Structure 1
């Protein structure tokens, strides 16, 4: 995964979904610049893949994230290989595919160096036990202020979610890693992200599970070839079948027909 800059970040719209094209260093710089100030707009970093297009694309059930949470600064990265390929074709620049699983270790290294406090929302308690061990071994000095494993009812109930957001705010997390799966994590951040007090929120799905060793990623050659989906399907066929065999092909068909909006420079993420 290249960290070399390809010039200023570029923002495009694919099927009414905003995609920010940039390199890894651009993302890390955006995180580093985000001060822990109460009056600063929180930065949300998320990913756009076929699953995201299924939930948020044109004609889908939900509006684009930026419309759902206008009080947040959304940085939506080209995660899925088909999304990145379509963006490259439109802009004629070789923008990299950037995944949350690749970014998370680098964000944690940055947090360790700069003293940013980190919290994790989502996942199972047993995975959190594994995660605590890994974090202690790989990131000595990292300040982890909380790991929350709420039930789905806690996330979907507005009153319980309000209480959860206040609990996270009381813990003082500067960076909150949110792994609730799409579209729940984006919707929860849009509604409660500001109340958490975090200045950076990472909508990173199963990235913490990968880091903890509770789930395994595909070999690098499969990731480079855009075949990571087939590896995950083979590992978890019952859970992933609908996503990859029904929703995925339909989203890919829409992607091939989708209009790609005029490329324009993305706003700076101060």
Structure 2
């Protein structure tokens, strides 16, 4: 039985990082496609404007709170989530787990060369995962069938989709019935960070829920998008204090 916290109509799994990892590992023992999404405040707010995205998030097999804003929203609702479960960290914990040597991975997304660089850097760090296929994230609709064939022919267990939100969530949802994999994870900019082309916020910012501030400092053009964070929190507060109908 899943333990979830309802945040603006979206059931976010109330799990620790260790629990999320065990759930993901359990998915690999089941013979069907499982979907894992890691929404932050921007994605949760986007889902309020996009009914299709909201439904996709609601149908996830595991939905973990990637952003500190999502954890804060749960506290405002009076049902606090255990902790932030960042998609980057969850993916890396899966890579480093003892069972990972028996898992096949496919890296799908990023600019040309990014996935290859990410894999090389993992190997340089002595994280010897089995990457059985790589495909960049630049493609047309006409190429999708060939990409799916490539994924299925690779005999992969885990498909990491790094197309950015909400494109990656919608791509997974649209194609999951065609995929012969056990697990699809929307990983956003994970491959960019692993490749070295992007950097995560310093640990201080991560621990204090300020990654958004560091990202804004590094990429000020994101200001308009980041306004969704306060909008999200204000919407949660408004929903919390809204009078209940008799």
Band the TM-score falls in, shorter-chain normalisation: 0.7 to 0.9
The equivalent residue for 2:163 is 180
Q: Which moved more, 1:40-49 or 1:176-185?
A: 40-49
2:225 corresponds to 1:243: yes
State the alpha-carbon separation in 2 of the partners of residues 194 and 236 from structure 1: 37
Query: Pick from 42, 48, 56: which aligns with 2:33?
Result: 42
State the alpha-carbon separation in 2 of the partners of residues 124 and 212 from structure 1: 11
State the alpha-carbon separation in 2 of the partners of residues 258 and 185 from structure 1: 28
The equivalent residue for 1:263 is none
The equivalent residue for 1:266 is none
The equivalent residue for 1:134 is 121
Q: How does the TM-score come out when normalised to structure 2? A: 0.86
CA contact under 8 A between 1:134 and 1:211: conserved in structure 2? yes
Q: Which moved more, 1:191-200 or 1:84-93?
A: 84-93
The equivalent residue for 1:97 is 84
Q: CA deviation at 1:88?
A: 3.6
State the alpha-carbon separation in 1 of the partners of residues 200 and 180 from structure 2: 31
State the alpha-carbon separation in 2 of the partners of residues 168 and 123 from structure 1: 16
**3-state SS in 2 of match to 1:182:** coil
2:20 corresponds to 1:27: yes
Q: Which moved more, 1:129-138 or 1:87-96?
A: 87-96
RMSD: 2.5
CA contact under 8 A between 1:173 and 1:198: conserved in structure 2? yes
Q: How does 1:1-270 map to 2 (within 5 A)?
A: 10-35=3-28, 40-57=31-48, 60-64=49-53, 67-68=55-56, 73-90=60-77, 93=80, 95-110=82-97, 113-151=100-138, 153-154=139-140, 157=141, 159-238=142-221, 240-244=222-226, 246-259=227-240
Q: CA deviation at 1:232?
A: 0.9
State the alpha-carbon separation in 2 of the partners of residues 63 and 118 from structure 1: 28
The equivalent residue for 2:244 is none
The number of aligned residues is: 241
Q: How does the TM-score come out when normalised to structure 1? A: 0.79
Q: CA deviation at 1:133?
A: 1.4
Q: CA deviation at 1:243?
A: 1.4
Q: Deviations over 1:226-259 (max 9, x none)?
A: 2111111111222x22211x33332332232235
